[in-house]
Amino acid sequence: MPDRSPRVPVHVDPRGPRFAAVLTTLVLVLALATGSGVLLAAQAVVFALGAVLGLRRSPYGWLYRRLVRPRLGPPRELEDERPPRFAQGVGLAFAVLGAAGYLSGAGWLGVAATAAAVAAAFLNAAFGYCLGCEAYLLAVRGRARLGQG
């Protein structure tokens, strides 16, 4: 099995995570509009697969590789997979919280968590700004500062 340690980063086409953010935004808006905890739980599974197995093995990554990527030219550059993979974990946390809210009858929690996830996914889909990726970079910088002091 290949080494997936922080020293050996996997690189991905940055258009893949952005494509996934478009699909995620659509699913989350539908979950928010319908109050469906089941749909949000399904999105949580997608987030979990991306966070645990990697972006290429997630359902949206698979769709990108099979349906979209063959129709595009090569990417200008590749990006480190770790920040968007961390973002998948953040999305997972919000989706689990939201699904738990909807499914337990705490609709306000479902709405709040889903709305936060929609906002983050939309920022990535529309503007290429990944909040979870930025959180990852802040955590890495903070960890480096703690190690120096």
Task: Give me the domain span that covers residue 124.
Answer: 12-148
Q: Does the structure show a pLDDT above 50 at 1?
A: no
Beta strand segments in the chain, E = 11-12, 79-80
Question: How confident is residue 6, by pLDDT bands cut at 50, 70 and 90?
Answer: low
pTM value?
Answer: 0.90
Give per-residue pLDDT as tens, 71-113: 999 999 999 999 999 999 999 999 999 999 999 999 999 999 9
4 falls within a domain: no
Residues 110-145, buried b or exposed e (16+ Cβ, 10 A)? Answer: bbebbebbbebbbbbbeeeebbbbebbeeeeeeeee
Give per-residue pLDDT as tens, 45-63: 999 999 999 999 999 999 9
2 falls within a domain: no
Dihedrals φ, ψ of 73, to 5°? -75, 175
121 falls within a domain: yes
